[in-house]
Amino acid sequence: MTRRRSTSRNPHRSAGAPAKGSGRLRLIGGEYRRRQLPVLDHPGLRPTPDRVRETLFNWLGAETPGARALDLCAGTGALGLEALSRGAREALFVEQAPPVAAQLADNLATLGASERARLVTADALAFLTAGPSDEFGVYSLVFLDPPFRQGLAAACCHALEQGWLANEALIYVETEASLAPDVPAGWALHREVQAGDSHGRLYRRRPAHRSPHADAC
């Protein structure tokens, strides 16, 4: 597996060229509230709706400031960007499609958030399965929004238990409404929300499932 960290500059278009997109992503709370960012026109790219993001971050409340966030299958990065806007200490974005990752890098630079963010262009499941290194550490807040109907949610959830999670980490999983994901036994369902064809579930990792690296968070 190749892990490649993207730069803040989009290598696929020249400086000053307009982004080609089908819409805008609006951040809804915190430091970047009301900032609007271009969304690339790419198959399957679907930002988490405003209403769902607002509900989710109301649930998270005081858990977000100071958190280390991991945004898997990041796409537009809507969830990780919202976490940064609301005071997350840092965020790691993992996105497989190079054009989508490049647009996300540009958006991080536009917000001035690049110093608190890292971007890896990789398949999320392969990235997780390789296991964490000292370079990445563990995360207290995870967002997983894989492409629908590809059977990725359960595999990614279980791969997160390979040392990626802090004690009592919060994990938000968004899937198609018809799917109830198979999650590790140590995850307790905290809240859930449905919007159209998507169903979001917020889990709390039980303290008994300790990560050997948890003290590093």
Tens of pLDDT, residue by residue over 27-46, are 999 999 999 999 888 877 77
Cα(25)–Cα(48) distance, integer angstroms: 9
Residue 80 lies in a domain: yes
Tens of pLDDT, residue by residue over 149-164, are 788 899 999 999 999 9
Average model confidence (pLDDT) for the chain? 85
Where do the DSSP E strands lie in the chain?
4-5, 21-26, 36-40, 68-72, 90-95, 117-121, 139-144, 165-176, 187-195, 198-205
Residue 15 lies in a domain: no
Residue 10 lies in a domain: no
pLDDT at 22: 54
Tens of pLDDT, residue by residue over 45-67, are 777 888 899 999 999 999 999 99
Domain count, the chain: 1
pLDDT at 16: 35
pTM: 0.84
Q: What is the CATH number of the domain that holds 91?
A: 3.40.50.150
196 exposed, middle or buried (CB, 10 Å; 0-12, 13-18, 19+)? exposed
Residue 95 lies in a domain: yes
pLDDT(7) > 70? no
151 exposed, middle or buried (CB, 10 Å; 0-12, 13-18, 19+)? exposed
How far is residue 142 CA from its own chain's centroid?
A: 6
Residue 191 lies in a domain: yes
Residue 5 lies in a domain: no
pLDDT at 13: 35
pLDDT(214) > 60? no
Domain housing 40: 20-216
Residue 9 lies in a domain: no
